[in-house]
Amino acid sequence: IAIDASMSIYQFLIAVRTQGNTLQNESGDTTSHLMGMFYRTIRMVDNGIKPVYVFDGKPPDMKGGELLKRKERRDLTEKELSKAREEGKE
């Protein structure tokens, strides 16, 4: 089965961010998404599914506006989350 690798990684990053507790390496880099991909892959293989992760490369230029909107929404959401944490409203 072909799997959009970028989307899968993004799903794990969002899920981990929502839960608030991340796995990190000794440098402090988030690695939860890697563990998620690893365990998802193991489950598929255990069930007889052979996953093929597809990395589609750089997005086309025509998608630039949409990517900018997403970044702006993400930045705003991160600011709001940070403010909520400071106020104890997590």
Q: How confident is the model over 26-78, as pLDDT tens digits? A: 888 878 888 889 999 999 999 999 999 998 888 888 888 988 998 999 899 88
| pLDDT score recorded for residue 39 | 92
Locate the domains of the chain by residue range. Answer: 1-57, 58-90
In whole angstroms, give the CA distance from residue 75 to residue 81.
10
Using the 8-state DSSP alphabet, how is residue 59 labeled?
P
CA pair distance 63, 49, nearest whole angstrom: 32
Whether 20 has a pLDDT exceeding 60, the answer reads yes
- Which residues in the chain belong to E strands, given as ranges? 2-4, 52-54
